[in-house]
Amino acid sequence: MQLDAERAIALSIFVSYFSIILGLFGLIVSSWTKRQDSSKKDDDAAPLKTNRRNVVIFIGFTLASFAHTWFYMFKFMHWSFTDYESRATLISANLGDRIVDWLLNTTLFEQAWAAVSFGTPNWWWSEQLCFFTVGYFTSFIFFESKRRNIPHAWAYMLLGQVVAISVALNLFYLAVLLHPLAPGRPIQRKTPFILWISTAVGLVAVVLSPFTSESTFLPNLLAMHATITIPLLFPSFSAGPSLPTGLVHAVVSLTAGVARHRAVIAVIGAVHPEPLNAFSLLIETLHGHPAQSSIGYDVVWTTLSFALWTVLEGKGVGVAEVAMLPILSVGVIAPQAAAKDVELM
């Protein structure tokens, strides 16, 4: 198969995408192995007192969430490929050439996110994951990786962005279980400037997402993804004022709550005058496009994982809050629980 430079780049980007995924998995899992080996050799290392039941449970959740979300991700790639060829004027007889033509003429990342961001019921699903990631998951990784000396904190976030947030969340839960608290590392009551400013920018990007145009959608999306990775890449950056951690979590929860109210009202308005049809509309939307199914079930697995974690680890979420997760969303409840944890410590 003859490839010019442009076609070779398109194919290499696609191959590199899967190579990055494998590399991130390898980096994360190998860091756990090294931690266990060093704990056995170093008498001064904190003992690995882990709950084996919980480890097995979250290994299962990691595998299940990965299999479920990526079943639909591969369906999306197949849909994108056939959609491109249905519009192509010339189709090669060589499958390799056809794949390269598809990659060269399709913006997969933008195509997937456009499918899940525009449309009232579509955003009802997607905003939950965005608020959870920007408002809670970033700070959870930031603080817990410091308290427990978990290496490569940025890798969990990057893996969540290229694979699925639920997969990265369950992997980080495993990392927490496998890394005992470092001596003298209590919960941090102050959020450094680099974290809260990145969170603020990310929140603005999430709020603006459903209102973006064709020209502003991609820059806004890239800003949302980039800003939440920065504090994990530079966790020791100390310039700028810090804010009370409980306050930051409270603002995040309030912002997500206001947006959630708007999303729920919009969905009910879309089925007016029969509001009871809202559930049917959301289920129909969940299975209406493979990209939406991948993101939607990522939301489901993230919600289930967070709920299970709070129950098993005794975190600050009550039965009533867990029951309200499907309505209020994990993007609202998770930072609310984090704020309560800070107050209780």
**If you search the block for the tokens 């893996």, which residue do you land on?**
159
- pLDDT for 335 beyond 80: yes
Please report the pLDDT score of residue 3 as a whole number.
59
Average pLDDT value over all residues in the chain? 89
Please report the pLDDT score of residue 46 as a whole number.
46
Interval 231-284: pLDDT, tens: 999 998 888 999 999 999 999 999 999 999 999 999 999 998 888 899 999 999
**If you search the block for the tokens 């209780």, which residue do you land on?**
344
- pLDDT for 327 beyond 90: no
CA–CA dist 120, 195 (Å, integer): 30
Give percent of the chain above pLDDT 90.
65
Tokens of 13: 């980007």
Please report the pLDDT score of residue 73 as a whole number.
96
Interval 46-65: pLDDT, tens: 445 568 899 999 999 999 99
Greatest CA separation for the chain: 68
For residue 130, what pLDDT band results from cuts at 50, 70 and 90? very high
Interval 53-104: pLDDT, tens: 999 999 999 999 999 999 999 999 999 999 999 988 888 888 888 999 999 8
DSSP 8-class letter at 47: P
Tokens of 292: 């939406």
Please report the pLDDT score of residue 39 as a whole number.
56
Please report the pLDDT score of residue 343 as a whole number.
56
- pTM to 2 decimal places: 0.91
Interval 187-197: pLDDT, tens: 678 999 999 99
Ordered alpha helix ranges (H), the chain: 5-41, 52-87, 95-104, 108-117, 120-132, 138-148, 153-162, 165-178, 193-208, 217-227, 230-233, 245-270, 278-286, 290-312, 319-323, 325-328, 330-344
- pLDDT for 215 beyond 90: no
For residue 321, what pLDDT band results from cuts at 50, 70 and 90? confident
Find, among 119, 123, 85, 117, the residue nearest to 104 by Cα: 85
Find, among 166, 161, 134, 160, the residue nearest to 231 by Cα: 134
For residue 43, what pLDDT band results from cuts at 50, 70 and 90? very low
Please report the pLDDT score of residue 47 as a whole number.
46
- pLDDT for 45 beyond 60: no
Output the CA angle 131-132-138, nearest 5 degrees.
105
3-class SS of residue 73: helix
Give percent of the chain above pLDDT 70.
90
Please report the pLDDT score of residue 184 as a whole number.
62
